[in-house]
Structure 1
Amino acid sequence: MKMKANKMKYYKVLIKSLILFFFCVLKMNAQEILTIEDAVKIALENNYEIKIATNELTIDKTNVSAGNAGMLPKATASIIDNNSIINLSQTRTDGTVNSLDNAKNNSLSYGVNLDWTVFDGFKMFAKLEQLKELQKQGESQLKLTLITKISDVNAVYFDLVQQQQQLNALDSTIVISNQRLTLAQNRFTIGKASKLAVLNAHVDLNTDKVTILRQKELYANTKTLLNQILARDTKTDFKVVDSIIVDPTLSLPELTLLAEKQNPQLESLIINTRVAELQLKQIKAVRYPTVKVNTGYTFSDSQSSLGFTTQSSAKGLNYGFSAFLNLFDGLAQNRNEKIASIQIENSKMQIEQQRLALNSQLTNFYQTYLTNLELIDLEENNEVIAKQNLDITLDKFHIGTITTLEFRTAQLNHVNAKVRYSNAQFQAKLSEIALRELAGNLSF
């Protein structure tokens, strides 16, 4: 009977363990591991700002056409039908008077006409080139939106990684504080420690619990922020990877060269200058004559109740051309050309201003990047030393050769060292992200 009872007890424990394992697996599956690549992919697919910028680019592409530049003819069809009922009175040259009440008159005309500007001082060609440049500007704006959003995703994602690392550090602190409280209580029970030691251990444990609760709150809020950036349900649960990998090979000359070629803000200003130059070409085109040709086919019919002609009709082809030349417009042409030239000059100065600001930002961020790389090595070494110190202190605390204050100091030093190491990695990653963003080579 005793053996049977032991078997039953064994099976109950086994079943409980399996159930617990099953629920743990479900919980792990519910929390997906979100990689930075997946986060960027989701942002590119869902983010509203990217969708709006994509739609704006589609509008720019649609505008690039010969018809929008004024190169194609315009054809119109028209129909006009006029009717009237009036009282008429006519006196002819021979003195005869004719009159008619409720006289009906009607006229009908319809036809197709074509109007085509065949020369406008090459304005239409400059307009088409300007539309193409505006499309490039839309592409540059979309690229800027993409890079900015990817930078935001990276920054928030690796902030989560840092916070997750700090949570792990605080979890280990809770374990050690619990051990300390248990040890203090045991010593108090056998009379080797005072009640004060137990109370101090309890207070420190509660302090650690408050700290970890605050950290969990910050972690949860940052997860919500990342979900918002990814434009998905803010309650979506996930975990991030547990490490931050910083590229230590970035080179300032290479980054500067890439920024000159790829920085979307600088690229946009260069396009703006080209657009301003094409605008000046369109303004100068007004100095040339504008030549239009026209043709059409028209049918007309009119009927009148009184008069020399009571009915007439006509149909046939008409064609011709017209030319216009601006001779004097109150010096508006000179003024417009001067303003357009100044705008080109301003655009060029903005390019140089952006280049200077870009080089300055790259230099500053790169110096911060190098400093953070050094801090990573230093803080990593500090964490190793703090861990060794904590292990030695814990052993001494177990045998009662050090005070609780010394133990608490070693414990906090270890936690702070881990937090500083994690923060050094995060700050270095932020510097790397900023440099890649300026260079325009953040991976899509």
Structure 2
Amino acid sequence: MRKMYKQFIFTALIVFSSIPFLSAQEALTLESAIQIALNNNYDIKVAKNDAEISKNNATKGNAGLLPNLSASGGVNYSEHASDELSSSAGLNLSYTLFDGFGGKYNYQILNLQKEQGDLLARFNIENTISNVISGFYELNKAYDNFQTSIKNLEISKERLSRNQSKYEFGNISKLEVLNSKVDFNSDSTAFLQAQQNYDAATRKVNVLLGRKAETTFQLIPDNADFQVFSLIDLKNETLEKNAEYLIAANQLQQSETKVKETKSGQLPTLSLNSSYSYYENKIAGSNSNTQLTGGLTLSFNIFDGKRKKTQIANAKIDQLNSDLEYQNTMLVLEKDLVDAYADYQYNLKILALQEDALEAAQLNFDQTREYYQLGQVTSTTFREAQQNLIEAINNKSAARYDAKLSEVSIKKISGTLLITGL
């Protein structure tokens, strides 16, 4: 009886430890996890800051399209009999009127780099959110396994108690009690391992959300339905919205514009220069003068050791490489999309099979349990039905989350992960 009491206390503690305290803990859904990550995740913050740098660089002044205006001034004192004191000030203006459209192309490149910065930020954010969703589903699966281990342990505890009672009344041998005790201890170990895995998955999700690993919350499992996709529509969406593809297309535009910018150096440059100066010299009296000057400068590089020619040739090679990378990106993305779509279809079929298997395993267990209580089947047969049920529950849980991960992969590749929602 004392052993039975200890086993009861152990099982009660296990069940009690699994009860959520909703009033004291935050409820974490998939949607709230994504929102927390968007606000807190450090990788996302870095991606947004990098995009801001690209935005700051995309100005006409950075492209050399605005004039330069500088001011200068000074005072000089010379200790002679006359105590000479002089002062001067000046303004200098310079502006490139024509540089073969180099400034224009440079400005276009800066704006393309700004767009690329936004796309890179989106690409990094999508990768991070994809990791958050994957981590959330891993946590869901660990939670399901944890709850299943509790159910399994309760069944084993009930079986052990029944066998101990039967043994006390002389209905079964000591061996059956020992077998049920071994199974109970094995299931207790499985429970602790499931709890350990759940705790580790919880800490992982917290870090992905950009907060302390020990943060407590009440998990709200995701039970959303699966979406139906059209492969043709997905291919079109990928070419319109996939960040990686758009980055490759942007890089190709940059390289094409870079060729034009490099070629602009073969044309003459026309610049406007103007200055205004003021000078005052104080000796016994005071004398001052001002001067305004201005002019145009035309320059043309007749020979530079073929450096410009080399730059143009290299720019064309960069353009060719960008085009090759663009074409390769399209091929790889199409292959990845088809793979993800095929995986999704297979995983949905596997899920359907696992659901049927679980239904059969549940019916078999319920029937076997009834026969076992009536003494019509052996303890070994009951244990087999129990193990088949637990395996079926875990297989169905794993199949569901595998299918969900495939669904997320499709959305990520098609560029709709953060656009269409979940």
Q: Same fold (TM over 0.5)?
A: yes
1:428 and 2:407 are equivalent in the alignment: no
Conserved in 2, the CA contact under 8 Å of 1:244 and 1:426? no
1 CA distance for matches of 2:332 and 2:19? 52
One-letter amino acid of the counterpart of residue 59, structure 1: I
The CA distance in 2 between the partners of 1:129 and 1:184, in whole Å, is 82
Deviations 1:10-69 (A, max 9, x none): xxxxxxxxxxxxxx9992212332111111111111111111111222222222222111
| 1:153 alignment counterpart | 132
How far off its partner does 1:112 sit?
1.1
Cα distance in structure 1, aligned partners of 2:371 and 2:165: 16
CA distance in 2, matches of 1:71, 1:244: 56
Which residue number in structure 2 is paired with residue 276 of structure 1?
255
Task: Please give the per-residue CA displacement for 1:328-366, whole angstroms capped at 9, x wherever unaligned.
Answer: 001111110010011011101101101111111111121
1:325 aligned to 2:304?
A: no
Give the drift of 1:104.
Answer: 7.8
Which one has the largest radius of gyration? 1
Q: Aligned match of 2:25 in 19, 28, 31?
A: 31
Query: 1:416 maps to what in 2?
Result: 391
| Structure 2 counterpart of 1:442 | 417
- Cα contact 2:279–2:289 (8 A) shared by 1: yes
Task: Supply the distance in 1 between the matched residues of 2:386 and 2:148 (Cα, whole angstroms).
Answer: 11
State the secondary structure of the residue aligned to 1:29.
Answer: coil
Q: How does 1:33-432 map to 2 (within 5 A)?
A: 33-82=27-76, 108-301=87-280, 313-432=288-407
Distance in 2 separating the partners of 1:37 and 1:243? 9
Q: Are the aligned partners of 2:141 and 2:397 in contact in 1 as well (CA < 8 Å)?
A: yes
Q: Which runs of 5+ in 1 are unaligned?
A: 1-23, 86-100
Query: Alpha-carbon deviations, 1:42-100, whole Å to 9, x = none?
Result: 11111111111112222222222221111111111112445667xxxxxxxxxxxxxxx
2:376 alignment partner AA? T
The 3-state SS of whatever aligns with 1:30 is coil
Deviations 1:171-200 (A, max 9, x none): 111111111011101100100011111111
The Cα shift of 1:241 comes to 2.6
Deviates more, 1:143-152 or 1:210-219: 143-152
Give the stretch that moved more between structures: 156-165 or 244-253: 244-253
Secondary structure of the corresponding residue to residue 27 of structure 1: coil
Residue identity matched to 1:333: K
- What SS does the aligned partner of 1:326 have? coil
The change in CA–CA distance for 1:342 and 1:119 in structure 2 (over 3 A counts) is: same
2: CA distance between counterparts of 1:414 and 1:26? 25
- Determine the C-alpha separation between the residues in 2 that align with 1:196 and 1:443: 59
Decide whether the 8 Å contact of 1:256 with 1:439 is kept in 2.
yes
Query: Unaligned stretches of 5+ in structure 2?
Result: 1-17
- Partner residue of 2:7? none
- Cα distance in structure 2, aligned partners of 1:68 and 1:123: 12
Alpha carbons 1:30, 1:237 under 8 Å: kept: no
C-alpha separation in 2, matches of 1:274 and 1:26: 55
Secondary structure (helix, strand or coil) at the match of 2:21 reads helix
Q: Distance in 2 between matches of 1:333 and 1:419?
A: 67
User: Aligned partners of 1:31 and 1:417: how far apart in 2?
Assistant: 31
- Structure 1 runs of 4+ with >6 Å offset: 101-106
Q: Which amino acid aligns with 1:78?
A: S
* 2:6 aligned residue: none
With over 3 angstroms needed to count, the CA separation of the structure-2 counterparts of 1:26 and 1:287, relative to structure 1, is closer
Shift of 1:248: 4.2
Aligned equivalents of 1:390 and 1:367: distance in 2?
34
C-alpha distance in 1, partners of 2:199/2:339? 33
